[in-house]
Amino acid sequence: MSEALTLSQRMQASMARWTGFFTGRVSGEAAGVQSLPVNLGGYDYARANAGAPTRLQSVDQALVWVVVALLMWGMVMVYSASIAMPDNPRFSRYSHTHFLTRHVISMVVGSVMALLVFQVRTETWEKIARPLFVVSLILLALVLIPFIGKGVNGARRWISFGIFNFQPSELAKFATIIYAADYMVRKMDVKERFFRAVLPMGAAVALAGVFLLAEPDMGAFMVIAIIAMGILFLGGVNARMFFLIFAVLVGAFVMMIAASPWRRERIFAYLDPFSAEHALGKGYQLSHSLIAIGRGEIWGVGLGGSVEKLHWLPEAHTDFLLAVIGEEFGLVGVSIVILMFLWLSRRIMVIGRQAIALDKVFAGLVAQGVGIWIGFQAFINMGVNLGALPTKGLTLPLMSYGGSAVMMNLIAIAVVLRIDAENKQMMRGGRS
């Protein structure tokens, strides 16, 4: 009888805990610990005395190690993909380690910046959200000014600071996350009204899009638009308004492609990259990317054994790094990269959901925005390399060569780690 009663009490306590997870309230008797408005999902925590001081707990080590693994693997592949580039007359003045050296410097600088950013409280980002977005717009405008913006391959996307080039579109992605999260918190009371809740945000993103399309950089604009739309949806915009925004966005991109002859040619080349008409034109990169991945088969030809990187596949160290991974590590290597990005994006989204459950809406939306950014950009880059999507100038986050991208990715990850640390601090009874 006593065992049955104990079992009944355990079942009642378990039901109370699960009910509390969905309602946001867990009683102390049911949980047996301090009341928390969130399912801890495996986090270890302890009771905190009412007046005891609390400090930030350790960071999410699994997330850190996955990021480190992607960075290290990316560093090796950047060297492998660029080692033969000095044999090309265009890069004859570079050493064989030129791109590796610059990539390592970007990683080191990005890591130092990430450590500094981790010290910044989440509330500080909320305060500077609008000024940061304005600064990103100003930098996007400066890129278009002659003698300030630097052009490469017909695109003007960089500002030269002498020893390094900075790409403002990478800052704009991060600034859009911060601004959109702050915007949704401020507009929470009118989120059911289209013109008051959505139109101002749409205008801000459209202004950024005007600058990006003038560079041109349609890929960055697509990422920024998806980030803004995702945060609007996660922030509580109803489904009808979300699908209306989605329809407008799709229509806008279709019109941009239809109005641009060279963008239309990219679509046609994507549909048949091996045709005589496109094989040496817009379908050249895609066709050689598919050849590289096909050569890799299951296990790959081995590290350093890629043939396509020997002046056949353009931008092998940036946009088409995954193709070199596929050739040298095969299907197994590509699958591992996909799984690592899938885990990373999911983990970041979970951190965001925990912050929202702890009533930290801004922090939660920022973390989820970073998850959308990394996940969506990785998806687009992988889709392009695998021939599932038309060619688009987007790098593989954390892995591809590109100083601005690597630094902003690491800064974004540092903000997420700070949010996670503050979540754990609140779970232990401390203030955020």
Within a domain: 41 = no
pLDDT score of 162: 73
Q: Tell me the pLDDT tens digit for each residue of 73-128.
A: 999 999 999 998 988 888 888 888 999 999 999 999 999 999 999 999 999 999 99
246 with 234, same domain?
yes
Given 225, 259, 293, the domain boundary residue is 259
221 with 249, same domain?
yes
Range of the domain at 420: 71-87+96-119+274-427
Within a domain: 355 = yes
pLDDT score of 72 more than 80:
yes
| Residue range 180-197: mean pLDDT, rounded | 76
Phi, psi of 391 (to 5 degrees): -60, 130
pLDDT score of 123: 94
Give the chain as a 3 state SS string: CHHHHHHHHHHHHHHHHHHHHHHCCCCHHHHCCCCCCCCCCCCCCCCCCCCCCCCCCCCCHHHHHHHHHHHHHHHHHHHHHHCCHHHCHHHCCCCCCHHHHHHHHHHHHHHHHHHHHHCCCHHHHHHCHHHHHHHHHHHHHHHCCCCCEEEECCEEEEEECCCCEECHHHHHHHHHHHHHHHHHHHCHHHCCCHHHHCHHHHHHHHHHHHHHHHCCCHHHHHHHHHHHHHHHHHCCCCHHHHHHHHHHHHHHHHHHHHCCHHHHHHHHHHHCCCCCCCCCCCCHHHHHHHHHHHHHCCCCCCCCCCCCCCCCCCCCCCCCHHHHHHHHHHHHHHHHHHHHHHHHHHHHHHHHHHHHHCCCHHHHHHHHHHHHHHHHHHHHHHHHHCCCCCCCCCCCCCCCCCHHHHHHHHHHHHHHHHHHHHHHHHHCCCCC
247 with 135, same domain?
yes
Given 228, 259, 290, the domain boundary residue is 259
281 with 413, same domain?
yes
pLDDT score of 341: 98
pLDDT score of 401: 94
User: Are 351 and 358 in contact, with CB atoms under 8 Å apart?
Assistant: no
pTM: predicted TM-score of the whole model, two decimal places: 0.84
Q: Tell me the pLDDT tens digit for each residue of 32-48.
A: 334 344 444 444 443 34
208 with 196, same domain?
yes
Q: Report CA 176 to chain centroid distance, whole Å.
A: 12
pLDDT score of 133 more than 90:
yes
Residue predicted with more confidence, 245 or 408? 408
| Residue range 243-256: mean pLDDT, rounded | 84
pLDDT score of 190: 57
